[in-house]
Amino acid sequence: MSDAHDVSKVNPPPRITGRSSSHFTRLARVFALELDVACEFAPVYDLASLEARDYAGNPALKLPVLTMHGATVFGAENICRVFAESAPTPRRIVWPEDMRDLQVRNAQELVWHAMQAQVQLGFGTQIARLPADSIYFAKAAAGLRNALQWLDERLAAVIATLPPRDLSVLEVALFCLVEHLAFRATVPLAPYGHLAAFAREFGQRASARSTAYRFDVPSDG
C-alpha cells in the first residue's frame, strides 16, 4: 500500500487544466475520451488571474494545459497530438496538415477564427463587461457571423471531402464551437441549421455527452 502510494506520487496520471465552460478545453477532453487516454481534470476558476501558476505554468495565461509525465503541454491542438501519441490503440486521425482540399483548409481556419472570436466576445463583454458596441467587439461579432454562414453553406461538401477517419480535429473543434455558441450566447445560432444538425449528431457520442459545458464552481472548504 505504501509502495503504491509512492508510485502514484512519482508518476501521477495526466491532468488537463482548463475550464468546463471552454470550447478549447472541451476539444482536448473529447480527444482524451475518444482515444481512451485516462486524464484528470483541474478547473481554473478565476480567468482574471494574472499569475502563470494559476494556468498550470502557461506564461501566456491561456488554457488548456496538459501536465503529463513531468512535462507541460500548452494549447488544445498540441494536447490532442500528445493524446494521439499516447493512445493505447492507434486511431486514424485527420490533422490540419492532412487536408489537401483548399475548401477544407479554409473551413479549419474559419473554425479556429470563430473559436477565438467567441473567446474575445465572451471574455470582453461578459466577463470584463466592456461595452459591446465597441468597434473591437462589433467587428469580432460580424466576422464570427460571416464565418458561421460560410461554414453552414459548405458544411456537407467539407465533411464529404475528409479522408476516412476515426476522428478529425476539424469535426471535434466545430462541434465544440457550435455547442459553445448555444451555451455562452454571443451571436444567434438559429440561422445556421446545418451546423446545428451536425452538432446534434456529433453530440450523441459518449465523449460529447461526458463533457457537456457547465460553469465550474469551487467546492466549499
Q: Is 180 a member of any domain? A: yes
For residue 42, give the H/E element and its range.
strand 40-43
- The CATH number linked to 62 is 3.40.30.10
Q: Does residue 101 form part of some domain?
A: yes
Please give the tally of structural domains in the chain: 2
What pTM value is reported for the model?
A: 0.92
Domain shared by 53 and 106, yes or no: no
**Please, what sign has the CA dihedral across residues 170, 171, 172, 175?**
positive
Is 210 a domain residue?
Answer: no
Same domain, 166 and 192: yes
Amino acid present at 11: N
DSSP three-state, residue 96: helix
Tell me, yes or no, whether 186 lies in a domain: yes
Range of the domain at 177: 93-205
Percent of the chain with pLDDT over 90: 85
pLDDT band with cut points at 50, 70 and 90 for residue 5: very low
In this predicted structure, the answer to whether residue 2 has a pLDDT above a threshold of 60 is no
Decide which of 77 and 123 is more confident: 77
Contact 12, 4 (CB under 8 A): no
Domain end among 90, 125, 157: 90
- In this model, does residue 215 exceed pLDDT 60? yes
The CATH code of the domain that includes 125 is 1.20.1050.10
pLDDT score of 76: 98
Same domain, 64 and 76: yes
One domain, residues 122 and 162: yes
pLDDT tens across 55-103, in order? 999 999 999 999 999 999 999 999 999 999 999 999 999 999 999 999 9
Q: Is the pLDDT of residue 9 over 90?
A: no
